Structure 1
Amino acid sequence: MPSLSYPFLERLAYIRNFGLNKYKTKEEFIEFLHSKEIDISQRTLNRDFDNLKIFGFSVVYESQRKGHIITDEYADEKNLLDRYIELTTLKSFKENYSDYYQKYVIDHESKSEGVDLITDIFDALDKDLTIKFDYQKFNNEFSNREVCPLQMKVSQNRWYILGLDIDQNAFRAFGLDRIKKLKIGSEFNPKEIDKSVFEDLEIQKFCLGVNKPIFDEKKKEEIVLEVSDFLIEYWKSKPIHFTQDVTDSHENGFNTVKFILIPNLDLIKLIVSSLGEIKLTKPRTLKDYISSNYSDALRSVYE
């Protein structure tokens, strides 16, 4: 993968937007980019298609239509490409206008820690290379890790690398803000990784956050929540998951919202920390689990 400069990211965004859910020939892509004063070859376009796949997009050629279609099946409202562009722009702004930023901006949320690692991580993802780093635990101690990176994920403004922890021989998620001294390691063969790791990777698409599922079945379920009028407008503007479906059902100041999710601790935290702004309707198994483990503190979830 080339350097993740802004012109490169801008070109990827143009290609993504032009071919998103539409069949376009390579000639049409190149002609469109030319209209934006960006000239590239078919070879460069092929590499850009591969780079879009790293950002989580599907790029498929259909011979009958003689064109490529770009889809974003698992994206939230903002996908990795958009989030990275925003993060890079924010970091550049903070650095170039640091005096103004500190003087005029109250910022306790935007996080650019780890952004400098993303270029190397994407390069490792692109070339199937391991990454080695020191990882800061919650007790502030560091441990040495070597990982076969498979995908990245953004949750609650934090970036994570998902992959195989070689020493543990297990799927793990690592927050970029806790990674230090990252180095590129040796080449690995994804086909030699146990299929259970890729199953865990697929599970992550249907989990909030990066915590493991709470049930052994690890199956996708319809999650039905009643969300207050106060909170629903925020969810409409910033969906919390790509399966979010805000229905037309509204009663007593609450709106019915449906998801397809695999229940995990992050989902429970979302519900129980809402102070009554979110109520769980179904599934019954999840209601029983919360009732058994958090009944004293969280009676408002069901009332």
Structure 2
Amino acid sequence: MSKTKSRIFRICMLYKLLKEKRKFNGNTVHEILREEYNQLDMEYEQVNRDTINKDLRLLRDLGVNNSYNDSKHQYELIPGLQDEFWYGFFETVYQSAWLNMDDDHPKNPKKYIEFHKGRKYEGNEVFRSLMNAIVEKKEVTFIYNKYNAPSENRVVDPYLMKEYEGDWYLIGWDNHRNANRTFALDRISSVDMRRPIETLRYSDPHELFKNVIGVHLPGDNDDKTIRNCRIWFEEKIAPYIENEPLHSSQQRVHDEMGGTVFEYELIWTQDLKNRLMKYGSQVEILVPDVWRQIMMDEFQRSLKSYN
């Protein structure tokens, strides 16, 4: 393993120890790292204490805050948003090493794991170009490959990269349509960064999604009213909803009729409707009436399909 790869993996292992609240310091870190490497049948190349300190400092530079607790004689992770952002990356590196064992290795875990093989995700090749454009506040052009329609050239002021249900999307102002649009990264190609954005429309693009579930904003003719809504979930799935809220505004109200009622402050979108439709008879919108009627009409159309 090259020095660069070795350091990347060592940093990932240090992050794993911090995340799991493993007790370690400059005197014990090598023994613990060696145990972790042994579980992957990898050889740990010991480095000096200064190198470990540099690794931990790099983690802090990346936003993974950690510090040494003098009273406990150990390094500790300071939770934060950046920590959650990097968690997926470090976990991927660690799991990749685990899953890349030789097929005939006695500890090879592949025969005990089933992966979803629905579709191969694409879009990573344009991620960096689009992120650079967002950071540098530059207009971009690209080809957007629509489903069941001809590909189109788009000119967009990019504002935000958003992840939703495992996929990545670009949120930006479409200069030809004069409206906000959402673009799936796996359908974007031939990205070209152009001139600086003339008019910065949003100081904080996250505010666009403050009361929205999903990645698609309301259309020009859609109702953009933020409404207080109450949604009932059957008792079998209510604990999952409580543990993984549908939205940051979620509040538990009370239990009733064999389920739990949650309250939200939301704008109606197609993504919200699709999300609720997944739960079928296990969900019911109580208020507002206009949303309740939308769901009733949708379920009636579904019922006609089966008749």
Same-fold status (TM-score > 0.5): yes
> In the alignment, which of 89, 112, 115 is matched to residue 124 of structure 2?
115
- CA distance change for structure 1 residues 89 and 121 in 2, over 3 Å: closer, same or farther? farther
* 2:35 match: none
- CA distance change for structure 1 residues 121 and 82 in 2, over 3 Å: closer, same or farther? farther
Matches within 5 A, 1:156-171: 156-171=165-180
Instruction: Tell me if the contact between 1:110 and 1:157 (Cα under 8 Å) persists in the aligned partners.
Output: no
> Within the alignment, does 1:219 sit opposite 2:217 as a pair?
no
- CA distance change for structure 1 residues 39 and 204 in 2, over 3 Å: closer, same or farther? closer
The Cα offsets for residues 237-261 of structure 1, whole Å up to 9 and x where unpaired, read as 43222222234x1123211112211
What is the rounded CA distance, in whole Å, between the counterparts of 1:137 and 1:98 in structure 2? Answer: 40
User: Residue 238 of structure 2 aligns to a residue in which SS?
Assistant: helix
Range that drifts further, 113-122 or 253-262 = 113-122
Instruction: Tell me if the contact between 1:162 and 1:201 (Cα under 8 Å) persists in the aligned partners.
Output: no
Gaps of 5+ in 1: 18-33, 50-69
* 1:154 match: 163
> Within the alignment, does 1:207 sit opposite 2:212 as a pair?
yes
What is the rounded CA distance, in whole Å, between the counterparts of 1:232 and 1:110 in structure 2? Answer: 30
Gaps of 5+ in 2: 1-6, 20-51, 64-78
- CA distance change for structure 1 residues 153 and 124 in 2, over 3 Å: closer, same or farther? same
Instruction: Tell me if the contact between 1:149 and 1:162 (Cα under 8 Å) persists in the aligned partners.
Output: yes
- CA distance change for structure 1 residues 95 and 38 in 2, over 3 Å: closer, same or farther? same
TM-score normalised according to structure 2 size:
0.61
User: Residue 276 of structure 1 aligns to a residue in which SS?
Assistant: helix
Residue 95 of structure 1: CA displacement?
9.5
Instruction: Tell me if the contact between 2:139 and 2:197 (Cα under 8 Å) persists in the aligned partners.
Output: no
> Within the alignment, does 1:265 sit opposite 2:265 as a pair?
no
Residue 217 of structure 1: CA displacement?
4.6
Instruction: Tell me if the contact between 1:203 and 1:218 (Cα under 8 Å) persists in the aligned partners.
Output: no
> Within the alignment, does 1:143 sit opposite 2:141 as a pair?
no
The Cα offsets for residues 51-76 of structure 1, whole Å up to 9 and x where unpaired, read as xxxxxxxxxxxxxxxxxxx986xx9x
* 2:258 match: 253
> Within the alignment, does 1:232 sit opposite 2:238 as a pair?
yes
What is the rounded CA distance, in whole Å, between the counterparts of 2:138 and 2:238 in structure 1? Answer: 42
What is the rounded CA distance, in whole Å, between the counterparts of 2:150 and 2:101 in structure 1? Answer: 34
TM-score normalised according to structure 1 size:
0.62
**% identical aligned pairs:** 21
What is the rounded CA distance, in whole Å, between the counterparts of 1:114 and 1:94 in structure 2? Answer: 25
* 1:177 match: 186
> Within the alignment, does 1:278 sit opposite 2:264 as a pair?
no
Q: Which has the higher contact order (CA 8 A, sep 6+)?
A: 1
Residue 90 of structure 1: CA displacement?
8.9
- CA distance change for structure 1 residues 209 and 216 in 2, over 3 Å: closer, same or farther? same
What is the rounded CA distance, in whole Å, between the counterparts of 2:96 and 2:80 in structure 1? Answer: 29
Equivalent pairs, count: 245
Residue 108 of structure 1: CA displacement?
4.0
Residue 220 of structure 1: CA displacement?
1.6
